[in-house]
Amino acid sequence: MKKILFISTRSPFSKKYSGDVIGSRKIVSILKKKNKLDIVSLDHKDDFSQDNIFIFKTPNLLLKIINVIKSLFFLRPLQFGFFYSAKMKQFIHDKASDYDLIFFYHIRSSQYLPKNYYGKKIIEMGDLYSNNYNQTFHNLNIFNPLKYIYFLESLLIKNIEKEIFSDFDKIILFSKNEIKEINQSIKGKIIHINISIDKIKKKYLFAKNNKRILFIGNLKYLPNILAVKSFVKNVLPKLKKSLIDIRLDVVGEINSFDKYFLSLNKNITCWGQQKNLDKFIKGTICGLANLDIATGMQGKILSYMSYGLPVICSKKTSYNFDKNVISYNNVDDLVIKINKFKNDKKLSNQISKKSLRFIKKFTWQKIQKEYLKVIKN
């Protein structure tokens, strides 16, 4: 039995329905098997400790701003300041030597690594975010101040990734294609583990009267909201010429401003967060992943596939999915491909079957074994 400390900047027990919370909760469920596990994280609740769970209150907005400025001064990523707690850092520093292994969840948690910790250090980075932020920089308008913030953050994150490759014993990444880009000298530290899905439900049914396109994802995440707005502006008007009653259903957390303006279009419905996607599959033509900014494995595509839903996506998001999805070259090609999914039963069912075959290797039942190997070795 190992004594393990799990560190996350968002509580695995949060009621928030988001990918990082769900992912951390799954890992916690694995780590506590045959091990003594303590959990340290930030949350919006008051500080408390209970049953080996140590929660530190997320700093208020003023303190976050101060911490972000400090991060910038010391050339650390801005997100480090946003997710920094002095109390949490001191707690980890004081307790670290009690543990055989510390598991860090996501790159921003790496700032809590104690300098003099000599036990095993594992981090799940998931994706190489410096690449993601660099893509965001190139996709934003020169008059958008966020463009320059993302450029700066991409450089700062790049430095942190280098530190992580040096300081940690094992680094978990989701994408085999991203692992190929890493320097050969450190590849022995890199562990490839796929993103997981809970269940395969096989809910998709082709029908001529299907009229819904489904987009799922956190709309507070810039690449997602840019993708939806691009679809509404550039694709939907052309699509409506051939499919008058076409609908775009957007599922995921969204701010009030974006929800209001998107909902002004009668062909769009923003549903907010939904724990169960079952009701959205019936009547759906395809799942959409038209992101221009994308790295690693896209969880939204895996979610579509778990229902047998045919997926159409940009070249960047199709990179890790071979011929199990349909990609497009430009706006006009995207319109053509959606029309094919709408009218071509043979094609739709063929891609649906490929999705269901492909997704089998991403079930949590299989993926959890990989985490157990990392902890054991």
Residues 39 and 171 in one domain: yes
Shared domain for 182 and 309, answered yes or no, is no
320 domain-assigned: yes
Ranges 180-184, 230-234, 370-374: which has the least confidence: 180-184
For the chain, what is the mean pLDDT?
A: 91
Same domain, 122 and 22: yes
**Residue pair 305/355 in contact by the 8 Å Cβ criterion:** yes
Domain holding 284: CATH number?
A: 3.40.50.2000
Q: Which two tokens stand for residue 341?
A: 């999914």
Q: What is the pLDDT of residue 230?
A: 94
- Residue 238's domain comprises 212-362
Whether residue 22 is contained in a domain is answered as yes
pLDDT tens, position by position, 122-175: 999 988 889 999 999 999 999 999 999 999 999 999 999 999 999 999 999 988
Q: What is the pLDDT of residue 181?
A: 77
Q: Are residues 156 and 229 in the same domain?
A: no
Total domain count for the chain? Answer: 2
Of 159, 193, 227, the last residue of a domain is 193
The answer on 180 and 245 residing in a single domain is no
Tell me the average pLDDT across 352-371. 91
Q: What is the pLDDT of residue 17?
A: 66
**66 and 143 belong to one structural domain:** yes
Residue 98 located in a structural domain: yes
Residues 40 and 179 in one domain: yes
169 domain-assigned: yes
State which of 138, 162, 193 marks the end of a domain. 193
Residue 48, pLDDT > 70, answer no
- Give the pLDDT confidence score for residue 46 in this predicted structure: 66
Distances (CA, A) of 63 to 83, 110, 149, 243, 363: 10, 20, 19, 50, 40
pLDDT score recorded for residue 297: 81
Give the pLDDT of residue 74: 95
For residue 211, which amino acid is it? K
Q: Confirm whether 206 is domain-assigned.
A: no
Question: What is the C-alpha to C-alpha distance for residues 106 and 16, in angstroms, rounded to an integer?
Answer: 17
The residue out of 142, 163, 193 marking a domain boundary is 193
Q: State the pTM of this model.
A: 0.89
Q: Report the pLDDT value the prediction gives residue 49, as an integer from 0 to 100.
A: 65
Residues 138 and 255: their CA atoms lie apart, in Å, by: 24
Q: Please indicate, yes or no, if residue 372 is contained in any of the structural domains.
A: no
Q: Is residue 32 part of a domain?
A: yes
Report whether pLDDT(106) > 90: yes
pLDDT digits (tens, 9 = 90+) for 316-350: 888 888 889 999 999 999 999 999 999 999 999 99
- Of the pLDDT bands very low, low, confident and very high (cuts 50, 70, 90), residue 47 is low
Same domain, 181 and 48: yes
Percent of the chain with pLDDT over 70: 99
Let me know if residue 199 belongs to a domain: no
Torsion of CA 73, 75, 79, 84, to 10 degrees: -60
Q: Above 80 in pLDDT, residue 16? A: no
Do residue 180 and residue 67 come from a single domain?
yes
Do 280 and 182 lie in one domain? The reply is no
Residues 188 and 239 in one domain: no
Q: Are residues 14 and 71 in the same domain?
A: yes
| Alpha carbons within 13 A on the beta-carbon side of 220 | 9
Strand order across the 212-216 sheet: 268-272, 247-251, 212-216, 284-289, 311-313, 326-327
